[in-house]
Every structure is written in structure tokens, then in C-alpha cells.
């Protein structure tokens, strides 16, 4: 719990209020803390460490662990002169042997009159080794097929056909329609059943009637898969 009264009345401070270690793949990190004393008397602080609760994947159902960071310090005590400052270097890291465990704790500076605390946190192992998305048991990648009524049917990768139903194309289809300026509507182009493909570049905008002439396409030959 934060003691607001003591924080306001404190005559000592640390220039590094929090420490973010990032991933631990590169090994432990050294962090130098500067302790400042604004009082009229010299202060001595004992340097210590406390560990917090760690958490790990899966993010949908995280678990919690007792995982202590590896710690070290350049001095067991730091003496800060009146109206002066002093430095102490701490070493923080982990050796959990796994990727993606979020751990942390506190560096404690314990004095006769007041205490200073600096929180730290990091992630074990290699951040890039973590799986962001998996197939969730759905067989991704796959296809979603609309039923035309606002719902979709999922076709997993294992069930994806290699040949698709095709439509019979007229020899020279011509579609004419008016399209207002800025409209994103597109004509239906002959191809696989239910497909729609624009033959107009996205920068084309017109307020007058326009005509698309769609030539016969080899992809419309019955019994063949559409070309990609």
C-alpha cells in the first residue's frame, strides 16, 4: 500500500523509479540507481530484493507461479551524504529455462528513518519464440462460406477442396450500370460460383454511366479450378 504522507515528506529519492527489463534472452542486466538525500544528515540504506508473483501463458487461462529473479548488487549498503547522492548497481535477470514467463519484484533500500522501493519486471526467454496465434483446433487456415442470411460456415484447411465449382461464361458478357461518385459497388464478374471480382481500378471514379466489357476467362472453363 502506498503511504502518501510518507512519500510527500520523504527527503530521499531514487532517480530510476521503475525498471523494465524486457526479454531475458540476452542474459542479466545491470542497472545503476542514484539515491539522492535532501536532508541535513547522512543516510545509510541496506540494499535488498523481494520477488513478486509470476504469470505465464496461455493468456486465455494464465497460471501463477513463485519465480524468483536472479539478483545481485555492487554493495550491500549505500551511504548517501547530506544534500548529496550515491550510486549502487544492481544486476537483474532470470534462469527459468522457459519462454514467456512474466516475472518481477522490488529492489528495497531500507534505512533507519525511511525506505525506498524500486519495482522491476521482465519476460523470460525469447519474446519472438512465443506463438501469438494458433489454429485453436479449427484447422486454420481455412475458408468461411456465407449462407446469404448473415451467418457463415467454416471449412477447415483439411476439408478445403482442390477443385471448385465453376460457372459457364457467355462468350462476350457486357454489364452496364450507373455508379455514383465515390461508390464502392462493383459489377459481378464471371468466375467461380458466388465470386465477385472488380475489373475497375480503385482510383476510377465517375458520375456518368460506365460499361465493363468482361472477356471470356480460362478460369470459367467447366471442371477446372480458377486461376490465381
Q: What is the pLDDT of residue 156?
A: 65
Give the phi and the psi of residue 76 in degrees, each rounded to 5: -75, -25
**Count of residues making up the chain:** 228
Distance CA 24, CA 129 (A): 12
Q: Is the separation of the CB atoms in 68 and 54 below 8 Å? A: no
- Cell 484447422 locates to 139
List phi, psi (to 5°) of 221: -65, 130
Report which secondary-structure segment, H or E, holds 177: strand 174-177
Strand residues in the chain grouped as ranges (E): 12-14, 19-23, 29-37, 43-51, 53-56, 63-66, 70-73, 77-80, 84-93, 102-110, 115-123, 143-146, 152-155, 174-177, 210-213
Q: Which CATH number fits domain 7-129: 3.40.1390.10, 3.40.50.620, 3.40.718.10, 2.60.40.10?
A: 2.60.40.10
**Buried/exposed 80-96: b ≥16 CB within 10 Å, e otherwise:** beeeebbebebebbbeb
Q: How confident is the prediction along the chain (228 residues), in pLDDT tens digits per residue? A: 567 777 777 889 999 999 999 999 999 999 999 999 999 999 999 999 999 999 987 767 788 888 899 999 999 999 999 999 999 999 999 999 888 899 999 999 999 988 999 999 999 998 888 777 676 676 666 777 887 887 877 776 655 555 544 444 444 444 444 444 544 444 444 444 444 444 444 444 444 444 444 444 444 444 444 444
Rounded-to-integer distance, Cα 178 and Cα 114, Å: 78
- Give pLDDT, residue 94: 94
What is the domain partition of the chain in residue ranges?
Answer: 7-129
pLDDT of residue 196: 44
Which single residue is written with the C-alpha cell 539515491? Answer: 35
b (16+ CB within 10 A) / e for 137-158: eeeeeeeeeeeeeeeeeeeeee
pTM: 0.58
How far apart CA 21 and CA 32 sit, in angstroms, is 13
Judge contact between 43 and 113, C-beta under 8 A. Answer: yes
pLDDT at 153: 75
pLDDT (0 to 100) of residue 161: 52
- Residue in this structure with the C-alpha cell 477442396, named with its chain if needed: 161
Amino acid at each position: 500500500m502506498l503511504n502518501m504522507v510518507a512519500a510527500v515528506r520523504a527527503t530521499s529519492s531514487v532517480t530510476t523509479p521503475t525498471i523494465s527489463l524486457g526479454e531475458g534472452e540476452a542474459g542479466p542486466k545491470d542497472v545503476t540507481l542514484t539515491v539522492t538525500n535532501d536532508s541535513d544528515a547522512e543516510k545509510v540504506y541496506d540494499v535488498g530484493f523481494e520477488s513478486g508473483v509470476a504469470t505465464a501463458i496461455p493468456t486465455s487461462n494464465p497460471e501463477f507461479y513463485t519465480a524468483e529473479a536472479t539478483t545481485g548488487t555492487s554493495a550491500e549498503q549505500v551511504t548517501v551524504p547530506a544534500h548529496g547522492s550515491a550510486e549502487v548497481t544492481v544486476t537483474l535477470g532470470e534462469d527459468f529455462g522457459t519462454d514467456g514467463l512474466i516475472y518481477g519484484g522490488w529492489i528495497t533500500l531500507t534505512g533507519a528513518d525511511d525506505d525506498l522501493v524500486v519495482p522491476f519486471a521482465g519476460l523470460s526467454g525469447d519474446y519472438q519464440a512465443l506463438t501469438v496465434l494458433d489454429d485453436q483446433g479449427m484447422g486454420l487456415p481455412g475458408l468461411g462460406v456465407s449462407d446469404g442470411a448473415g451467418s457463415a460456415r467454416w471449412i477447415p484447411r483439411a476439408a478445403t477442396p482442390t477443385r471448385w465449382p465453376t460457372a459457364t461464361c457467355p462468350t462476350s458478357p457486357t454489364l452496364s450500370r450507373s455508379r455514383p461518385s465515390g461508390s464502392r459497388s462493383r459489377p459481378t464478374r464471371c468466375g467461380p460460383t458466388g465470386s465477385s471480382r472488380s475489373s475497375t481500378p480503385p482510383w476510377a471514379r465517375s458520375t456518368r454511366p460506365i460499361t465493363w466489357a468482361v472477356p471470356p476467362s480460362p478460369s470459367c472453363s467447366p471442371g477446372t479450378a480458377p486461376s490465381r
